[in-house]
Amino acid sequence: MKESTLITQTAPDSEAAEAYRALRTSLVYAGLDRPLHAVVFAPPSPDEGRTAGVVANLGVVIARGGEKVIVADADLRRPRLHTLFAQENGEGLSEAVLQSEAPLPLHETGIEGLRLLTAGHPPLNAADLLASQKMGALVRRLTQEAAIVLFTAPPVTAVTDAAALAAYCDGLVLTVRAGRTRRDRLTEAKAILEEWQVKTIGAVLLDAERKHLWQGY
């Protein structure tokens, strides 16, 4: 799967866009016993997964399927999701966590049913912010605004951000790259998630043939 651009928007009939529709279906099946309302996407370690594009493109196909979706950038150290939607990274997730009584700073994307929550201004300690009870409250608040909320997060083995956030969500999907992600890094990431009692929903394999797109756990 290639994910560097909004291919689901620019070429909705392409094979790549079809791969994202298949990913949407896989998530539906993954949530048959317990519907998924908040899911984190993160690579096992640095430079292995281009997660922002996965979240953005998946958000597009889910919204086009008639669901209300929020894509949220929880990579507070290296935010990128806003660039894919040509938005400024102004007030966003950081501010929404700390200002629980204020209106959610959601951005319209120009795609019906799809809204964006940018990362916002960098906090002093991203891990503490994402692990806070206020973050849990924000996740619950966002899930009241949409059928599903898709978060992008930093590498699991590099910092605790992804695991801390996913502990408040329904689970985490690993974004890995064919021929690049090391098996030991993947094993380490899964161990960290187990320690945080995070459900690993599956993995998205980038730069691979479509038939190898999704791996469930």
| Residue spans per domain, the chain | 30-216
pLDDT of residue 2: 40
pLDDT of residue 211: 45
Q: Comparing C-alpha atoms, which of 59, 62, 46 is closest to residue 3?
A: 59
In this prediction the pTM is 0.91
Predicted confidence (pLDDT) per residue in 66-78, tens digit: 999 999 999 999 9
Half-sphere exposure of 85 (CA within 13 A, CB side): 27
pLDDT of residue 184: 78
Query: How many angstroms separate the CA atoms of 121 and 61, rounded?
Result: 28
Candidates 3.40.50.1370, 3.40.225.10, 3.10.450.50, 3.40.50.300; correct CATH number of 30-216? 3.40.50.300
The first and second tokens of residue 128, run together, are 């503490």
The first and second tokens of residue 59, run together, are 């958000």
**What is the layout of strands, in order, in the sheet containing 107-108?**
107-108, 114-117, 69-73, 148-152, 38-42, 171-177, 200-206, 214-216
Strands 200-206 and 214-216: antiparallel
Q: Could you list the mean pLDDT of each consecutive 10-residue stretch along the chain, which spans 217 residues?
A: 69 88 89 88 81 94 96 95 93 93 94 97 93 97 97 93 96 83 81 91 76 50
pLDDT of residue 3: 42
Residue with tokens 């924000």: 138
pLDDT of residue 50: 76
pLDDT of residue 45: 84
pLDDT of residue 1: 41
